[in-house]
Amino acid sequence: MNNDISKRALALLKKTNAVLSDSHFVGTSGRHMGTYINKDALYPHTLETSLMGELFAEKNKEFDIDIVAAPAVGGTILSQWTAFHLSKLKNKEILSVYTEKDKGTTASASESEQIFRRGYDKFVEGKNILVIEDLTTTGLSVKKLVQTVKNTGGNVVAVSVMVNRDPKLANSDSVDAPFSALAVLEVPSWEAKDCPLCKQNVPVNTSVGHGKQFVEEHTKK
């Protein structure tokens, strides 16, 4: 990993107060953790978000890329900025597209399928694709996007994430494509049944992440 890129990525997150700790969080994957990266705190800051896109571009500039693809919603913002900076680096137009959750499924965020709508599949077919994502813990969500790109006829040249929270779970083998992260911030995480914070009755943070959803579903049981 490029240490300079890693330091700059984490600095941008810390500058925008996106790194939270000392609480009980629930991530998109449903796993519980004591430290959380609130990516939504980054996106209102357009300069810092642009700089994050520039880091993605720098990290992946050696690849032959036609399209940058990411999942909505947050990934779309990073995809736009990454394609913008890659276009400048490579002196050619590199497009940005995104997938959306399959409206026909009632699965959780980590389990729902990601599909191309709005005719974006036509841009992807036969092209070299850089897949990017904001955060990953298990790699499941980004793997689904990789498979969607492949099923659409795109060639996934690389996968790049802003922060990898668990390199043992999210890596090239697990996502089935060359994989890298701008930064690694290893955060222990647990299934709800194994969560020590739950066992200690530490209140779930319902302000960020999927804590509110978890509490609501848990209360119904």
Give the CATH number for residue 166: 3.40.50.2020
Residue 203 falls within a domain, yes or no? Answer: yes
Indicate the pairing of strand 67-71 with strand 25-26: unpaired
User: What is residue 32's three-state secondary structure?
Assistant: strand
Distance CA 120, CA 28 (A): 25
Tens of pLDDT, residue by residue over 49-66, are: 999 999 999 999 999 999
Task: Give tens-digit pLDDT for 138-182.
Answer: 888 899 999 999 999 999 999 999 999 888 888 999 888 999 999
Per the structure, how many domains does the chain have?
1
Q: How many whole angstroms separate alpha carbon 201 and alpha carbon 33?
A: 14
Please indicate, yes or no, if residue 178 is contained in any of the structural domains: yes
212 lies in a domain? no
Write down the pLDDT at residue 29.
79
Region 22-33: mean pLDDT is 89
In a domain, 22, yes or no: yes
Of 73, 183, 74, 83, the C-alpha closest to 128 is 83
- In a domain, residue 214? The reply is no
Q: Residue 10: its pLDDT value, please? A: 95
Residue 106 is predicted with a pLDDT of: 47
Give residue-wise pLDDT tens across range 172-190.
998 889 999 999 998 888 9
Q: Is residue 213 in a domain?
A: no
Q: Is residue 215 part of a domain?
A: no
Report the predicted TM-score, pTM, of the whole model to 2 decimal places: 0.86
pLDDT for the residue 3: 85
* Residue 219: predicted pLDDT: 80
How many CB atoms neighbour CB 1 within 10 A? Answer: 13
Q: Find the domain containing 107 and state its range.
A: 3-207
Cα(139)–Cα(130) distance, integer angstroms: 16
The residue among 93 and 208 whose pLDDT is bigger is 93
Is residue 141 in a domain? yes
The residue assigned the tokens 């810092």 is 48
Structure tokens at 51: 């700089």
